[in-house]
């Protein structure tokens, strides 16, 4: 049979490839000037103009005149079309679900407490219940959902798709989560680590923040993890477990960690350690919201716990800066809810411990989405899949 498509290397094939590149860029980053498209793709301004004209004719993008940095520019925006995406954030003690359209407008959100000791079946039943509530609030149907992504608090094995040892949901360890989710919800679901999707949420939702260097997201919670966006890609590493900063050794003979090692960052700065120390000092059980309230009110012991946390987190961030020299380090997760009381001393510790050049180059910031970074990252990943513009893998396939 004679092939009907364009021949590889032909002008038609080249034009189709360039159309796909421009469309993927606009869909991934949201409204983008034609000049920025030319810069990121390496195509000439004239070529970009012609390609955008073709995409407009296909109904895949729209073009508007706008003032950008004081200059009149042609801004290209994606036309998402119909359909919804679902993002799911599974924490140790919470479930958060969000629905968005393909133009990245969040239509409904719901959050519910979850028992960390509950089984996967119990957790997925709760997730299904919340999904029904979410669809009702948005006035939508299950068949409207074009893609779904979920994050879990623990390392994921790339080969098996299972949540690995050391996860914060012990009853979920070793399960084929994608299969279990599909059975429970009636939807195919892409599974990712929570800190990875927190990095995605901070980097790319609702539109990609411009970066010349990398972004590292630290999730400070019951465990401590990180996600890294390097060269415009989520960096998972060969095993899919890159970013387990909570198990960076800071004290060789320190406390025993749940991973089996000693002196990990988690044994010094994770939420249970902080709350245990503070609870002993005030002689009653303290939860995270109370710790944050006490610290902001100037409670001496609570402030001291913030300072100690900042010292350890700052040391870990300094190590990351020396290794990767990122442009931005974002502090997220529940512990970061204490705000500048944590941020400012972390910045000081980074300046003191990191080498001068990476210390000067990095910006250390609080998460712009607060506690929603992970679920927004899940929405971003689902949107990419629904639009057919997934980010390339960060590892070499064997």
Residues 205 and 178: beta-carbon distance below 8 Å: no
The whole-number pLDDT of residue 2 equals 40
Q: Structural domains in the chain?
A: 11-78 (1.10.10.10), 84-199+374-386 (3.30.420.40), 208-368 (3.30.420.40)
Residues 222 and 153: beta-carbon distance below 8 Å: yes
Place of tokens 């219940």: 129
CA torsion angle for 7, 8, 14, 16 (degrees, to 10)?
70
What is the mean predicted confidence (pLDDT) over 383-396?
68
The whole-number pLDDT of residue 241 equals 82
Q: Which is it for strands 84-90 and 94-101: parallel, antiparallel or unpaired?
A: antiparallel
Q: Which two tokens stand for residue 93?
A: 């003690």
Say if residue 396's pLDDT is above 60. no
The whole-number pLDDT of residue 115 equals 77
Q: Which two tokens stand for residue 24?
A: 């993927």
Provide the edge-to-edge strand list for the sheet that holds 61-68: 32-33, 71-78, 61-68
What is the mean predicted confidence (pLDDT) over 88-108?
91
Q: Which two tokens stand for residue 187?
A: 């939807």
Residues 115 and 171: beta-carbon distance below 8 Å: no
What is the mean predicted confidence (pLDDT) over 157-168?
62
What is the mean predicted confidence (pLDDT) over 365-369?
97
Say what percent of the chain tops pLDDT 70.
90
Q: Which two tokens stand for residue 366?
A: 């609080």
- The string of pLDDT tens digits covering residues 49-82 is 999 998 888 777 888 887 776 778 888 887 766 7
The whole-number pLDDT of residue 4 equals 44
**Range scoring the smallest mean pLDDT among 104-118, 128-142, 223-237, 297-311:** 104-118
Per-position DSSP letters for 96-156, written without gaps between them: EEEEEETTS-EEEEEEEE--TT--HHHHHHHHHHHHHHHHHHHT--GGGEEEEEEEESS-B
Q: Give the confidence band of 327 by pLDDT, cuts at 50, 70, 90.
A: very high
Say if residue 159's pLDDT is above 90. no
- The string of pLDDT tens digits covering residues 211-265 is 889 999 999 998 899 999 998 889 988 877 889 999 999 999 999 998 899 999 9
The whole-number pLDDT of residue 335 equals 94
Residues 261 and 279: beta-carbon distance below 8 Å: no
Say if residue 167's pLDDT is above 90. no
Q: Give the confidence band of 165 by pLDDT, cuts at 50, 70, 90.
A: low
The whole-number pLDDT of residue 80 equals 60
d(CA 391, CA 384): 8
- In the Cβ-directed half-sphere of 301, how many Cα atoms lie within 13 Å? 13
Say if residue 301's pLDDT is above 50. yes
Q: Which residue has the higher pLDDT, 203 or 4?
A: 203
Query: ω into residue 206 within 30 of 0, thus cis?
Result: yes
């Amino acid at each position: 049979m004679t092939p009907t498509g364009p021949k590889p290397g032909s002008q038609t094939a080249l034009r189709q490839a360039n159309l796909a590149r421009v469309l993927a860029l606009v869909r991934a980053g949201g409204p983008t000037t034609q000049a920025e498209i030319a810069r990121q793709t390496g195509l000439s301004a004239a070529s970009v103009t012609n390609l955008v004209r073709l995409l407009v004719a296909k109904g895949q993008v729209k073009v508007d005149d706008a003032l950008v940095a004081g200059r009149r520019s042609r801004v290209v925006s994606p036309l998402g079309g119909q359909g919804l995406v679902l993002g799911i954030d599974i924490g140790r003690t919470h479930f958060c679900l969000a629905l968005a359209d393909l133009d990245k407008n969040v239509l409904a959100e719901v959050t519910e407490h979850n028992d960390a000791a509950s089984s996967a079946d119990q957790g997925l039943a709760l997730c299904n219940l919340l999904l029904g509530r979410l669809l009702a609030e948005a006035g939508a149907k299950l068949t409207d959902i074009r893609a779904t992504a979920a994050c879990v608090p623990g390392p994921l094995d790339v080969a098996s798709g299972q949540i690995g040892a050391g996860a914060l949901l012990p009853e979920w360890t070793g399960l084929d989560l994608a299969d279990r989710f599909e059975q429970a919800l009636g939807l195919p679901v892409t599974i990712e680590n929570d800190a990875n999707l927190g990095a995605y949420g901070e980097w790319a939702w609702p539109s990609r923040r411009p970066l010349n260097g990398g972004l590292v997201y630290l999730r400070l919670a019951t465990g401590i993890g990180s996600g890294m966006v390097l060269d415009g890609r989520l960096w998972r590493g060969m095993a899919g477990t890159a970013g387990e900063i909570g198990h960076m050794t800071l004290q060789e003979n320190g406390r025993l960690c749940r991973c089996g090692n000693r002196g990990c960052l988690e044994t010094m700065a994770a939420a249970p350690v902080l709350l245990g120390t503070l609870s002993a000092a005030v002689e009653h059980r303290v939860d995270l919201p109370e710790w944050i309230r006490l610290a902001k009110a100037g409670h001496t012991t609570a402030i001291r716990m913030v300072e100690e946390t900042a010292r350890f987190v700052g040391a870990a961030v300094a190590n990351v800066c020396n290794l990767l020299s990122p442009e931005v380090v974002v502090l997220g997760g529940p512990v970061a809810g204490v705000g500048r009381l944590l941020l400012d001393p972390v910045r000081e510790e980074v300046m003191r411990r990191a080498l001068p050049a990476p210390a000067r180059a990095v910006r250390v910031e609080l998460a712009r989405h607060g506690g929603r970074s992970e679920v927004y990252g899940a929405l971003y990943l689902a949107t990419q899949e629904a639009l057919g513009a997934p980010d390339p893998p960060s590892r070499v396939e064997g």
